[in-house]
Amino acid sequence: MTTTAEKASAPTWRRRQRIAAYLFVAPFFVFFVLMLLVPLFYAGYLSFFREQLIGGNAFVGLDNYVRALQDERFLRGVLRVTLFLLVQVPVMLGLALLFALVLDSGRLRFASLVRLGIFLPYAIPGVIAALMWGYLYGQDFGPFAQAGRALGLPVPEFLSSGWMLASIGNIVTWSFVGYNMIIMYAALRAIPAEIYEAARMDGAGEFRLAWSIKIPSIRPSLLLTLIFSVIGSFQLFTEPQLLKSISPVVVTGEYTPNLYAFTLAFSRSELNYAAAVSFLLGILIMIVSYVVQLSTQRRERQR
């Protein structure tokens, strides 16, 4: 009898477990739908309209997207962040990998303190970091400029049109090297020590270990940091937005695509066109991220 009763209550117990599981994840899905999907679909809906002086909003189909693809200001911003991506991301990830390998080698004194010091800039809010570097870059009040004048040297023009992109790249690199280093360092610590011992018995030195064992073993983490960096480069906003107040002639409202969408929406009241620009930028990020991931996977399969 007891066995029969247990068998009868088993489906009821499993059903209660499923209901409990759905109840646990329900709050996340509610916020996911309300905070992400609904605004996303509403922005997509807005991108198919245009506000007119007479007649209010009018359905224009893909006209906003066609206009964005012919907009020189938007295209210049895309080219600028593409250049930023090609130069800044390799430098940042190269430094992060170098620091992670040095820390993992076990030959560095005060490794914990050094690791904390490299990671610390990531804990500083992006707004504070941009303001701090904006002060350091200042030609009238910055310490570099004051030191140059005191030594009779030319004052560095970090906020000029020729240097602005490099100056922003320096801020982003300073802020995110530690974040990427922690991801790579955690992956390095997960490599079994037996592999190192076998390699050392075969006569491999530290450089050989790093090149032939450590870097290939953490390739998934390198790909992860690369994709995060690609997305972050195209979403560049905080640093140019804050430096715009210090150097408004160089950093204009269309300096990056994200800043251009912000300017369109909140300064020029072109919400519909800003939505189309944002969607095009999102599509571009997805394409570039997919291409990076696909090319990396193909290269791994060929090995």
Looking at residue 178, its pLDDT comes to 95
pTM: 0.84
Closest CA to 273 of 61, 75, 46: 46
Q: Are 126 and 205 spatial neighbours (Cβ–Cβ below 8 Å)?
A: no
Q: What is the pLDDT of residues 30-63, one digit of tens each?
A: 999 999 999 999 999 999 998 877 767 888 889 9
Residue 298 main-chain phi, psi, to 5 deg = -65, -40
Looking at residue 2, its pLDDT comes to 52
Q: What is the pLDDT of residues 229-282, one digit of tens each?
A: 999 999 999 999 999 888 888 999 899 999 999 999 998 889 999 999 999 999
The continuous run of DSSP H or E covering 49 comes out as strand 49-52
What's the CA gap between 238 and 124, in Å, rounded? 13
Q: CA 103, 167, 94 angle in degrees (round to 5)? A: 30
Looking at residue 246, its pLDDT comes to 86
pLDDT at residue 122 tops 90: yes
Q: Are 222 and 92 spatial neighbours (Cβ–Cβ below 8 Å)?
A: no
pLDDT at residue 298 tops 60: yes
DSSP track, 197-229: HHHHHTT--HHHHIIIIIHHHTHHHHHHHHHHH
Per the prediction, the chain carries an average pLDDT of 89
pLDDT at residue 181 tops 80: yes
The continuous run of DSSP H or E covering 108 comes out as none
Looking at residue 265, its pLDDT comes to 92
What mean pLDDT comes out for the span 89-113? 92
Looking at residue 3, its pLDDT comes to 59
Return the percentage of the chain with pLDDT > 70, whole number.
Answer: 95
* Contacts of the segment 209-218: beta carbons below 8 A, 24+ positions apart: 210/101, 210/105, 214/101, 214/104, 214/188, 215/97, 215/101, 217/187, 217/188, 217/191, 218/184, 218/187, 218/188, 218/191
